[in-house]
Chains A and B, each alone.
Chain A
Amino acid sequence: MDRIPILRMGDLLLVTIQVDMHDRLAMTLQDDLTERIVSDGAKGVLIDISALDLVDSFIGRMISNTAAMARVLDAQTVVVGMQPAVAITLVELGLTLHGVKTALNVEKGMALLGKNYF
């Protein structure tokens, strides 16, 4: 089955979504991330969506849910790299990703998670 790889770096989990996700794949990623937060004792999750040319309500909901689940599991989530056209569309669609932290790029996202590797 298709899966989006989750990389571990210290107490952070890194995900970069580089394929056009169908709905089941998005749900699998949400479940995998939640499980990995617990099994790896992760404190932060960084999701890079710079390669995504679309975030619809389903993917948006997956991102919001993942952030909410991470929060109750004592981990922070930052979504980085959203393309401008995606941001415009997302807001016009009516999605604001309430409660999700965002940063313009990976470096700023890392800083937001309290990591300054660069």
Chain B
Amino acid sequence: MSAAHNTAVSFETGLLDKHRPWRTARLSLPLRTDEDVVYLRKHVREHAVAIGLSLVDQTKLVTAASELARNTIKYGRGGDVHLDDLLDGLKKGIGLIFVDNGPGIPDLDLALRDGYTTGGGLGLGLSGSKRLCDEFEIDTRPGEGTAVCVVKWKR
């Protein structure tokens, strides 16, 4: 369940430390069940409110978090998420990094296309999340895993 913080993902990716210079805090949570997604949404909302994101930007970030967390569980067979508080000069932001040890994404360009899905969904998770955030980066290797990093900065 949500309380256990056993970060067991071994996929080694540079994305984990992408924002290290600007990071002021990190909260790591497991993503295994439907309830973990709800738990993450609650945390993302709290952090977004704390740094003063507008209501629309809060909603965009929480929605992107929900989409990507579901991808981690559904396609990555579960994984971890790291919620980073960022501070770049006077600019505050929130970074989210989703990591899994799943099969990887064979064709990233295709996966980023609106409406493309291998799981019977709407195919909006990746492409939609990209539109909802300020920064978006994916590191994926077949058979090793996938990491997705998104950032929303306070305007």
Residues of A within 8 A of B (CB): 20-25, 53-58, 60-61, 83-86, 88-89, 92-95
Contacts and interface: CB of A to CB of B under 8 A. Distances in A.
A92 B55 CA distance: 15
B63 A89 contact: yes
Contacts of A83: 59
SS of B interface (majority): helix
A20 B59 CA distance: 13
A57 B122 contact: yes
A85 B124 contact: no
A88 B56 CA distance: 7
B131 A54 contact: no
A23 B70 contact: yes
A58 B71 CA distance: 11
Q: Which 7 A-B pairs have the closest CB atoms?
A: A22-B34, A93-B128, A85-B59, A56-B66, A94-B124, A85-B56, A89-B59
Interface of B: 34-35, 37-38, 41-42, 45, 55-56, 58-60, 62-63, 66-67, 70, 114, 121-122, 124-125, 127-129, 131-132
A93 B38 CA distance: 19
Nearest to B58: A85
Nearest to B33: A22
A47 B41 CA distance: 22
A91 to B, nearest CB: 10
Contacts of A94: 114, 122, 124, 127-128, 131
A111 to B, nearest CB: 28
A81 B15 CA distance: 39
A94 B121 CA distance: 13
A58 B67 CA distance: 8
A53 B42 CA distance: 11
Given A22-B34, A56-B66, A95 B56 contact: no
Contacts of B125: 57
A20 B131 contact: no
Contact of A57 (B38, B58, B60, B128): B128
Contacts of A23: 34, 37, 70
Interface centre among A53, A83, A89 (most CB of B within 10 A): A89
A85 B45 CA distance: 13
